[in-house]
Chain A
């Protein structure tokens, strides 16, 4: 009757709707999935490595998925926690604690990855992947910071060679700044991006140390920069924009764009930025190690590590471990360096003379020697702390001491919440 007809129609409608539910199809041979964020060179590199690996290991196929950086963390967390997602995942080393805490990854099997091997073969910064007696991931490549400078602009300003000390740094920046008739900046001496980009790392691991302090306590639980050293470091950093007027946050949107357009004299960034500048038409630049101070040098290193997701079990876990071993082999590292421009995670590959003296990579590699990696609890709020401190001083005119005290309080809360 009429109602059954109606019910049938409704039923069909809901079936029609349910058709939209996707179902995943199980794979045949052992297929493992590898996730990383989307960056053309890295995608290419992984594809190359996958090709090599699959040839040497028939019976294992690796599916390579990548996501835009902005959503990467969210995707990984969501996928793994719902039982989906990758078997092998790339994570920024600073997320280790978060990922561990949320149960997204599992420790590397000790038989395949012996600790003594790791400790003797990799750069010491990899030790930040060791927690509670287990290694949770290994990098193919590491990065450090170096100073990019525009040869043409330096020459024009009558400067030769890169600045070697923090004081020179300021002097150079001043000479390289140009403004138009109305006082608008048209050439930045130093581009800082207001703390975003690598600047906050520069402040934390380089400047704070130069001025006699350290960013966090040795056990990583307490802020250690809320003191004279930190204040001096923040003052030094913000003075570029505030006092020396060599910097303008937002000029040409990003420091890297302004530098690529030939409108910046000095710029600090990681090795991953090299390809962008190499491609920039008409840009004549060089790279040097970061300026030192009082005869010392510091640097910030970071890396993206490959880890086994907690979802990987049984034969998938074995296959993933095999792929991970290949990813961290010398061969893979050299391929990565050549394709992506990121530095090998093993001294045996990195400190080869050819690489060490390389015009572009040399300064970064040499910088690895004295670099430290911050053990982030949660990168975003900790990065925001530096950005906010910078803004407070430059935009709101707060004293570096007050600004630092304020963000230190907030950041300490983040640490406290994690360790409670």
Chain B
């Protein structure tokens, strides 16, 4: 009943200008997702039908999906991506926080130098390091291994910077009190400081996981064995091979994209919040 009242209130406030703006924004948003919509639509079309310009296939078929899943190593690639991204994210959450915390809450000689040094790594593009990393990996036999794919991203300057910002805003008294109570330094960090920065941790986790999931250049270089490809690398090679079969290509691209979208829809609130948080502190 009161909702009706509010509705009427809202209706009375409708401003034609606002409606136009809303419509334009809405159309814009549809345009943004058009490529994805067509990608999905084509994945359900047959090889002949795919050349017809239409949104809904006349004879929708799952054959393409069956083909891709059977003929390619998509499941391997998915697992590889999952493994590496998870491992890398956990490492970043652990180490970047530890370093950020240390740089924020401890006073010692050389602290600023360490901070600046780590920050300066943001200036070094990974493209410059891939050749030395590649040389290193050959030396130590890391080619075609999970470690090989993951090692460059185990700690990041960005994450360290972010966590340091958040830790700096924690009150020192909290830590002092714990020390007096006899807590070990590690326990103070792990059990007191970390829980207080969970929003930052989730933001960092999201960023890093996503970056890892979609990483292409380094995984491309470090893997030879198709069993070890991550999704982007596997997709590139699979689509390259099947490039003359558009419906297959679209299906593979769908398989690569849909899981991420799915996760996003579920965790949308957290993801957006996390990005906003990071952006503000950045």
Contacts and interface: CB of A to CB of B under 8 A. Distances in A.
Interface string B216-256: 00000000111000000000111011011010000000000
A5 B138 contact: no
B138 A22 contact: no
A67 B226 contact: yes
A254 B245 CA distance: 11
A75 B145 contact: no
B113 to A, nearest CB: 22
Contact of A253 (B143, B241, B243): B243
Interface in B30-78: 48, 51
Contact of B143 (A9, A13, A84): A84
B144 A70 contact: no
Nearest to A18: B147
A1 B224 contact: no
A296 interface: no
Given A1-B184, A21-B147, A78-B143, A70 B138 contact: no
Interface in A234-263: 253-254, 256-257, 261
Nearest to B51: A261
Contact of B146 (A20, A82, A253): A20
Nearest to A39: B241
Contact of B141 (A3, A21, A253): A21
A273 to B, nearest CB: 11
A69 B144 CA distance: 18
Nearest to B95: A13
Contact of B224 (A13, A21, A78): A78
Interface string A50-83: 0000000000000001011111001100110110
A20 B186 contact: no
A70 B141 contact: no
Contacts of B240: 68-70
B94 A21 contact: no
A82 B138 contact: yes
A85 to B, nearest CB: 8
Given A2-B184, A2-B185, A2-B187, A21 B142 contact: yes
A393 B146 CA distance: 47
Contacts of A65: 225
Interface in B142-178: 142-147, 150, 154
Interface string A142-161: 00000000000000000000
B237 A68 contact: yes
Contacts of B226: 67-68
Interface string B83-113: 0000100010010000000000000000000
Contact of B244 (A18, A70, A256): A256
Given A2-B184, A253-B244, A257-B244, A20 B145 contact: yes
Given A21-B145, A21-B147, A253-B243, A68 B238 contact: yes
Nearest to A75: B224
A70 B142 contact: no
Nearest to A260: B244
A6 interface: yes
A74 B51 CA distance: 34
Contacts of B237: 67-68, 70-71
A102 interface: no
A3 B186 CA distance: 8
A181 interface: no
A38 interface: yes
Contacts of A17: 87, 91, 147, 154
A366 B144 CA distance: 45
Contacts of B145: 20-22
Interface in A18-44: 18, 20-22, 38
Contacts of B142: 21
Contacts of A71: 224, 237
B87 A20 contact: yes
Given A13-B94, A75-B224, A69 B187 contact: no
A256 B87 CA distance: 44
A79 B143 CA distance: 9
Given A18-B147, A70-B236, 20 more contacts: A2-B185, A2-B186, A3-B186, A5-B186, A6-B184, A13-B91, A20-B145, A20-B147, A22-B145, A22-B146, A38-B241, A67-B237, A75-B224, A78-B138, A79-B143, A84-B143, A253-B243, A253-B244, A254-B243, A254-B244
Interface of A: 1-3, 5-6, 9, 13, 17-18, 20-22, 38, 65, 67-71, 74-75, 78-79, 81-82, 84, 253-254, 256-257, 261, 281
8 contacts: A21-B141, A22-B145, A67-B224, A68-B241, A70-B237, A82-B141, A82-B143, A253-B244
